A and B are shown apart, each in its own frame.
Chain A
Amino acid sequence: MTSFPPADRPPPNDPTTGTAPDLAALRRRLESGGGRRFWRSLEDLAETDDFRRFVEAEFPAVLELSETSRRTFLRLMAAPMMLGGLAACGDMPDEKALPYVNQPEMLVPGKPLYFATAALFEGYAQPVLAETHVGRPTRLEGNPDHPMIGAGSTDAFAQASILELYDPDRSRAITFLGRIATWDAFQGVVVALRERLGENSGGDFRILTETVTSPTLRRQLDDLQRAFPRARVHSFEPVGVALRHQGTRRAFGRPLDVHYRLENAAVVVSLEDDIFGPGPSQVRHAAQWSQRRRDHQQAGNLTRLHVAESTPTLTGALAGATLSVASQRLPVLLAALAGKLGEAGEGTPAAALTPRELSWVSTAADELAAHRGSGLLAVGAHLPAEAQARAHAINHALGNAGATVVYSDPVGLAATDDAGALPALAEAMAAGEVETLVILGANPVYTAPADLDFANRLDRVGLRIHAGIYYDETASNCHWHIPLTHPLESWSDARAVDGTASILQPTVKPLFGGTSVHELLATLLGRLNATAYELVRETWDARLGGEEAGWRQVLSDGFVANSAVATETPAPQVAAEPPATDATDATDAGAASGLEAVFRPDPCVWDGRLGNVAWLQELPKPLTKLTWENVLAVSARLAEELGLGTGDEAELTVNDRSVRGPVWIMPGQAERTVTVFLGYGRSRAGRVGNDAGYNAYAVRTAAEPWTVQDAALRRTGERLRLATTQNHATMAGGDFVRTVSVAEARTAHPDEPPLPTFYPQWDDPKYAWAMSIDLDLCIGCNACVLACQAENNIPVVGKEQVEAGREMHWIRVDRYYEGGLDQPDRTLFQPLPCMHCEKAPCEVGCPVNATVHGPEGLNEMVYNRCVGTRTCASYCPYKVRRFNFFEFGATDSPSIQAQRNPNVTVRARGVMEKCTYCVQRISAARIEAQKQGRAIRDGEVVTACQSACPTQAIVFGNQADPDSAVSRRQQSPRRYALLRELNTRPRTTYQARILNDASDEEA
């Protein structure tokens, strides 16, 4: 705690310590003349040390506060922030507040109001319905009416964007050279700038954007280009699709977006293409695959995955046994695959492959050949363009193009050629050709490859203007910083990955002020007073015809009908030449002098842009279950060789640059490949994201952004503490995640009779709520975890507390490995919410009736009654209960408290909590049903986890109704209860995962 004023400084007016000003001396000084003098106090006049100390104490440096912990800071700052938050609600004149005389239409306290809008991720729209309570957005749901498959669900990023909206660390003021400035002053600068640009037609003017899908922004950028023809727009995305475009340029002569149609794919062969991994397309791919997989469960449509990868991914986890192979070997494998399939170009001689590689290649080739038109060869966007082009050619030759993969013009404006990319900008800056640079949203000082030396080159730009929602690394290196409005609080538009456009409508007045990016562009275009609404409306009036009804329809739908990009199936223009195979001898693979380093976006904070979103920081990464940290993932063999253990610090050196980070032994990692995760080591993310992990960009180069050879790893001898939520990776002989063969999955087996019990049966209720989780559909994506966190006001506890084992997530996704450490046979996921046992052990333990059995089978937690004996949690065999060891919830800053769901209690310190099956949603549905005098319909109650799940693995409903979806699921021969032998009779049941890999069927 910081004492105030600091203890070592005596208060200025303290007669015991302060020295009284020497009055005689003062008089002499006043009398000695020296012009007019003003003085505030005698101390001021005397300029005593005391007065100086007083000034220091009165205005303590902010530094002093930042030394305290984040939580302490929040606690200390709660009151000022609340006031700050209020002040930021707009200009609030001092006036009397009166209740509405006429209630605004549809604004009913207690009734949520939904707005169809979109969250943005990497520039792409994620269509959502924003739930607002009395003008306060609290939660995002997928938009089920949206034409893109999977749009009814959301991924973790979309869920987290609501917290980003409320992030108290967002920038709040226009700054010039780090000092608060005004919009008027900025406009003055722009006017002068426009004058100059008009003279040289923008020859030294550059704009740097991220991926832009917004039609309005593109229109404005086009206008700008027209106004200043020699100006240039660059775009940079640290991860992005630009590399995919390189492949299509090579294959088809022009940049194209690649759209998979996994619902048609019986066989998918992936060369390190993380189809189901996090990213803008995750939800779409997951939903497509799920659709096919559900057919497969019923009818037997094949869904088989073959994955070769250097570092484990969710796609690999779904595939079962993968081939772990160095990234640099993938082109060789591709060539071999092409050879097997009899495609153009020389196949790699079989001798160049190891037996394992050979067997994988032949299986994959056979399967692809056997499923012409229903197979898909997917290659990672980070593979060399030649390899990607070759895969496109193979897909075309096999007849897959058009069936399982289609193409379209790029949805987003990304760098389409080298001249529009970041290196070109960096070079121009170095050459002094850039006098003015406007950076829209991007954070290149942090994310630019290290060899571009971006921060230093930026200093050579005469006028640097940064616009973003955070005062980040780049903002601090720019002259001007313009705080942007969050996508959820301003008018804008964007396209989803399928091209369908959505209008982003504000769900709340800008919380911290800020300017819309469209308004900023309009200013640059000379329109000083255009509002974002007008600008967006202009774009769409031109396209929709300006009809008010049409506009309203678009807003209400949340998307513009039939605006998806036209797909096509172009023929490859150039016969894909064989990639320049550095086909080193197989035995020699990777055993060269150096190691291979591969760069991957972090599955939770991505490229670092989400670094200050606490939910994502604390979200366990799907495979490692790590939080608040990035690691250097290495194989067990390499760790053994270097004497490294998980948590040991190591130094990775790539091209004379090095970073230090903790090592993580990753099962299934290619032997001599080190995976480096982007997105951490930020210095200006905010209080949440600062100084977590290491900065991988420090060793990334523009030339080799994804895979680098000749990396070296060295043990430093330090040990770092990692906060993981799951310390044990195997099932220890249990069958918690069950697997069945295809045959078993389809033959009904007699239901296991219930074990006898002493406890009385509950009455037959009208509703018996139950959940079924299909492990065959779960891809481990974490969407449910964050959806639950957003819905149920689950606090973030911080790294130290996660490390202590006190994370609060109500649903967790357990990850188990089967098989060896080097090459696990299987990676299994198991979402675990409360089981809502009918014979719940927790209910017996509670001495105060704080956890009781509800009439409809819910195991209910009465927070008010809980005294915190923790008996229930000790007795819980599933350990799904979470305890408030500290005052976790109440210390959040007021702006974050505004996100909270008003229908869910915020739990106090010392209270137990756990999954409630979203009881507030059950109540809402019941009230609605009672108003209409009917029973609750099946599907009317959708839990938060269920609504987010892109594969529909989670089904919730009334098991007393034999026709409900959950009852039908429970008829499945794959149904099982976790830890059935304990006779807790859980209401949450699972469906076993079906093994249908080639290897499984052979076995």
Chain B
Amino acid sequence: MADERSVNPQAPTETLPLQPYGSVSDQIAMIPLHYPLRRRWLIGLAASALFTLLLVVAIGYLFYAGVGIWGINSPVFWGLAIANYVWWIGLGNAGTLISALLLLLSQQWRNSLNRFAEAMTLFAVFCAAMFPIIHLGRPWFFYWLLPYPNVMALWPQFRSPLVWDVFANVIYLLVSIIFFYIGLIPDLATVRDKARGRLGQVFFGVLSLGWRGSAAHWQRWRRTYRICAALAVPLVVSVHSGVAMLFSVGQLAGWQTTIFPPYFVMGAMFSGFGVVAMIAVVLRHTFRLDSLVTTRHLDLLAKVLLASGLITSYGYIMDAFTAWYSGDPFERSTLIDRFTGAYAWSYWSAVILNFVVLQGLWFEAVRRNPVLLFLIGASVTTGMWFERYMLVVTTLYHDFLPSSWGWYVATFWDWSLLAGTIGLFFFLFFLFVRFLPMISMFEVKEVLREERVEARNARSQ
């Protein structure tokens, strides 16, 4: 561990310990080519495949029987499926922010994190994108939400936040895939060149699109990559604002509030960084990548987590304040119900897991401790799930007329979708770490190069 010194924002050179370029390639490119932990990987893959199978069964039965297999009812027409959707799409936020926003801001430390963060985003958005479709009463007509030309001259209803959600989601997913792939190309070429087996050579050769690393390639690549990044950043905002509008366009107490769009963007970032922190800690430990993902990376992640968590908690406070300040009896009763009602456990779980635990990150020792950071990341990820659950259920189960008040209990099939999508996420992630370079080699080398130059400059002075 090279980085025991105090953090100096003026000195990005301290991000990585100095090491030969070749060792970076060897460390990373060797993982897909000669996977080190085959046994553990297989066990992990099998376990996650089992849950993915559960997902397949859950969706199959859902399509066969209808959404009545869930716990939803009148008045709680939306349940776990929507909560899961909002949660997954929120997790996806971090990858795009790390990759695109920090790229545009030239924050070099991102280079060790962006690849797996992007992969995480991709898989999370994929999990999220399933929900709007399987959530439909008639999923086979999902394409009616898309504005396609048809003989009936029917368009979607453009005032609906769902339509914009669909647009934002689809574009976000596409841009995420493209961005991820473009960023992968130079590394794919590296792996291709290192591959000994015919299969690997062909596989990575096809994927790397004939990358030779010429100056012209680099020049075009760099332009494309930055354009994609510039596209992705506003999409992050639009996606989560859209999700927020899903709630705040309704007139229900606890939903109709103007703070929701920024609140959701920040909440998404918060939960996303929680997941990235967890993944970073796990990958770093498993593949002994301490020299590439350093404690400084963990420290930076923790700081972003803390900052976004504090903004999210501001959202909580303002949400409660405006509910009280509005004087609206329904808003107030929903607020009080969240504090003390039948689903108060979801509210307080969210508050404790998100904000109380988070306060540990004020201490540098905690930020730099991988185990503690992992636990806090897990706490935030879980806490944000509770928040999504709370937002969906507490508003719906007690709305305006007491005669229509109900309750909500998720069924086995609700839970199996959550477990199944988590399984799918892990399944995809296992495939990712096995077959693709999980850290961006060329970008790490770029950082190393800069650090060397700086070191040389420092020596020559």
A885 touching B400 in the complex, CB below 8 Å, given contacts A806-B73, A909-B138: no
| Residue of B whose beta carbon sits closest to that of A839 | B251
**What are the residues of chain B within 8 A of A866 when measuring CB–CB?**
137-138
Check B137 against A844 for contact (C-beta < 8 Å). no
**What are the residues of chain A within 8 A of B72 when measuring CB–CB?**
870, 885
Check B407 against A727 for contact (C-beta < 8 Å). yes
Contact of B160 among A814, A844, A870, A886 (CB under 8 A): A844
**What are the residues of chain A within 8 A of B166 when measuring CB–CB?**
847
Check B156 against A849 for contact (C-beta < 8 Å). yes
A867 vs B402: C-alpha distance in the bound complex, in angstroms?
Answer: 28
A194 at the interface (CB under 8 A from B): no
B105 at the interface (CB under 8 A from A): no
A910 touching B136 in the complex, CB below 8 Å, given contacts A847-B157, A865-B154, A879-B74: yes
Number of A-B pairs whose CB atoms are under 8 Å?
Answer: 164
B210 at the interface (CB under 8 A from A): no
Check B68 against A814 for contact (C-beta < 8 Å). no
Check B142 against A867 for contact (C-beta < 8 Å). yes
**What are the residues of chain B within 8 A of A877 when measuring CB–CB?**
251-252, 399-401
**What are the residues of chain A within 8 A of B136 when measuring CB–CB?**
867-869, 910
**What are the residues of chain A within 8 A of B160 when measuring CB–CB?**
844-847, 871
B135 at the interface (CB under 8 A from A): yes
Q: How far is the CB of B249 from chain A (nearest CB, A)?
A: 6
Contact of B77 among A812, A846, A873, A984 (CB under 8 A): A873
A867 touching B65 in the complex, CB below 8 Å, given contacts A816-B403, A845-B249, A911-B138: no
A819 at the interface (CB under 8 A from B): no
**What are the residues of chain A within 8 A of B161 when measuring CB–CB?**
845
Interface string of B365-405 (1 = CB under 8 A from A): 00000000000000000000000000000001001111111
Contact of A909 among B66, B135, B156, B329 (CB under 8 A): B66
**What are the residues of chain A within 8 A of B246 when measuring CB–CB?**
871
Check A868 against B74 for contact (C-beta < 8 Å). no
Check B138 against A849 for contact (C-beta < 8 Å). no
Interface string of B68-88 (1 = CB under 8 A from A): 100111111110000000000
Residues facing B in A834-861 (CB within 8 A) are 841, 843-849
**What are the residues of chain B within 8 A of A729 when measuring CB–CB?**
402
Contact of B406 among A727, A733, A849, A870 (CB under 8 A): A727
**What are the residues of chain B within 8 A of A734 when measuring CB–CB?**
329, 400-402
Check A848 against B144 for contact (C-beta < 8 Å). yes
Check A804 against B400 for contact (C-beta < 8 Å). no
Check B138 against A868 for contact (C-beta < 8 Å). yes
Check B162 against A869 for contact (C-beta < 8 Å). yes
A878 touching B402 in the complex, CB below 8 Å, given contacts A867-B136, A871-B162: no
Check A731 against B156 for contact (C-beta < 8 Å). no
Check B68 against A885 for contact (C-beta < 8 Å). yes
Residues facing A in B210-263 (CB within 8 A) are 246, 249-252
**What are the residues of chain B within 8 A of A873 when measuring CB–CB?**
74-75, 77
Contact of A874 among B66, B77, B137, B144 (CB under 8 A): B77
Check A726 against B403 for contact (C-beta < 8 Å). yes
**What are the residues of chain B within 8 A of A865 when measuring CB–CB?**
144, 154
Check A979 against B155 for contact (C-beta < 8 Å). no
A832 vs B407: C-alpha distance in the bound complex, in angstroms?
Answer: 20
Interface string of B405-434 (1 = CB under 8 A from A): 111000000000000000000000000000
**What are the residues of chain B within 8 A of A911 when measuring CB–CB?**
137-138
A848 touching B145 in the complex, CB below 8 Å, given contacts A805-B73, A883-B77: yes
A807 vs B74: C-alpha distance in the bound complex, in angstroms?
Answer: 8
A884 at the interface (CB under 8 A from B): yes
B184 at the interface (CB under 8 A from A): no
A728 vs B399: C-alpha distance in the bound complex, in angstroms?
Answer: 12
Check A728 against B66 for contact (C-beta < 8 Å). no
**What are the residues of chain A within 8 A of B156 when measuring CB–CB?**
847-849
B163 at the interface (CB under 8 A from A): yes
SS of B interface (majority): loop
A875 touching B249 in the complex, CB below 8 Å, given contacts A865-B144, A867-B136: yes
Q: How far is the CB of A615 from chain B (nearest CB, A)?
A: 19
Interface string of A876-893 (1 = CB under 8 A from B): 011101111111000000
Contact of A910 among B67, B154, B401 (CB under 8 A): B67
Check A874 against B252 for contact (C-beta < 8 Å). yes
Query: Is the interface on chain A under 10, 10 to 19, 20 to 34, or 35 or more residues?
Result: 35 or more
Contact of B137 among A814, A830, A912, A979 (CB under 8 A): A912
A637 vs B129: C-alpha distance in the bound complex, in angstroms?
Answer: 54
Q: How far is the CB of B24 from chain A (nearest CB, A)?
A: 48
**What are the residues of chain B within 8 A of A910 when measuring CB–CB?**
66-67, 136-139
Q: How far is the CB of A908 from chain B (nearest CB, A)?
A: 8
**What are the residues of chain B within 8 A of A54 when measuring CB–CB?**
none
**What are the residues of chain B within 8 A of A731 when measuring CB–CB?**
402
Check B162 against A886 for contact (C-beta < 8 Å). no
| Residue of B whose beta carbon sits closest to that of A886 | B68
Check B250 against A867 for contact (C-beta < 8 Å). no
A732 at the interface (CB under 8 A from B): yes
B333 at the interface (CB under 8 A from A): yes
Kindly name the residue among A804, A814, A830, A978 whose own CB sees the greatest number of chain B CB atoms within 10 A.
A804
| Residue of A whose beta carbon sits closest to that of B65 | A886
Check A727 against B405 for contact (C-beta < 8 Å). yes
| Residue of B whose beta carbon sits closest to that of A844 | B159
**What are the residues of chain A within 8 A of B329 when measuring CB–CB?**
733-734
A182 at the interface (CB under 8 A from B): no
Q: How far is the CB of A913 from chain B (nearest CB, A)?
A: 11
Check A805 against B66 for contact (C-beta < 8 Å). no
Kindly name the residue among B65, B66, B159 whose own CB sees the greatest number of chain A CB atoms within 10 A.
B66
Residues facing A in B122-170 (CB within 8 A) are 135-139, 141-142, 144-145, 154-157, 159-163, 166
**What are the residues of chain A within 8 A of B399 when measuring CB–CB?**
877, 879
A804 touching B250 in the complex, CB below 8 Å, given contacts A728-B405, A730-B402: no
Check B251 against A875 for contact (C-beta < 8 Å). yes
| Residue of A whose beta carbon sits closest to that of B159 | A844
A734 vs B403: C-alpha distance in the bound complex, in angstroms?
Answer: 11
Check A849 against B157 for contact (C-beta < 8 Å). yes
A728 vs B159: C-alpha distance in the bound complex, in angstroms?
Answer: 34
**What are the residues of chain B within 8 A of A978 when measuring CB–CB?**
401
A121 at the interface (CB under 8 A from B): no
A411 vs B401: C-alpha distance in the bound complex, in angstroms?
Answer: 45
| Residue of B whose beta carbon sits closest to that of A981 | B328
A882 vs B137: C-alpha distance in the bound complex, in angstroms?
Answer: 12
A984 vs B78: C-alpha distance in the bound complex, in angstroms?
Answer: 22
Q: How far is the CB of A731 from chain B (nearest CB, A)?
A: 6
**What are the residues of chain A within 8 A of B73 when measuring CB–CB?**
804-806, 885
| Residue of B whose beta carbon sits closest to that of A845 | B160
Q: How far is the CB of A722 from chain B (nearest CB, A)?
A: 14
Q: How far is the CB of A627 from chain B (nearest CB, A)?
A: 14
Q: How far is the CB of B85 from chain A (nearest CB, A)?
A: 12
Kindly name the residue among B154, B249, B403, B404 whose own CB sees the greatest number of chain A CB atoms within 10 A.
B403
A736 at the interface (CB under 8 A from B): yes
Q: How far is the CB of A909 from chain B (nearest CB, A)?
A: 5
Q: How far is the CB of B137 from chain A (nearest CB, A)?
A: 2
**What are the residues of chain A within 8 A of B66 when measuring CB–CB?**
884-887, 909-910
A982 at the interface (CB under 8 A from B): yes
**What are the residues of chain B within 8 A of A885 when measuring CB–CB?**
66-68, 72-73
18 contacts between A and B (CB under 8 A): A727-B407, A736-B403, A844-B159, A845-B162, A849-B155, A867-B139, A870-B72, A871-B160, A871-B250, A874-B396, A879-B400, A882-B74, A883-B74, A887-B66, A910-B66, A910-B136, A982-B251, A982-B400
Closest 10 CB pairs of A and B: A868-B137, A910-B137, A885-B68, A805-B73, A814-B403, A879-B404, A847-B162, A910-B138, A870-B77, A728-B402
B interface residues, Cβ below 8 angstroms from A = 65-68, 71-78, 135-139, 141-142, 144-145, 154-157, 159-163, 166, 246, 249-252, 329, 333, 396, 399-407
A interface residues, Cβ below 8 angstroms from B = 726-734, 736, 801, 804-807, 812, 814-816, 830, 832, 841, 843-849, 865-871, 873-875, 877-879, 881-887, 908-912, 978-979, 982, 984
Task: Known A-B contacts: A847-B156, A867-B145, A869-B137. Give 4 more (CB < 8 A).
Answer: A845-B160, A846-B160, A869-B135, A910-B137
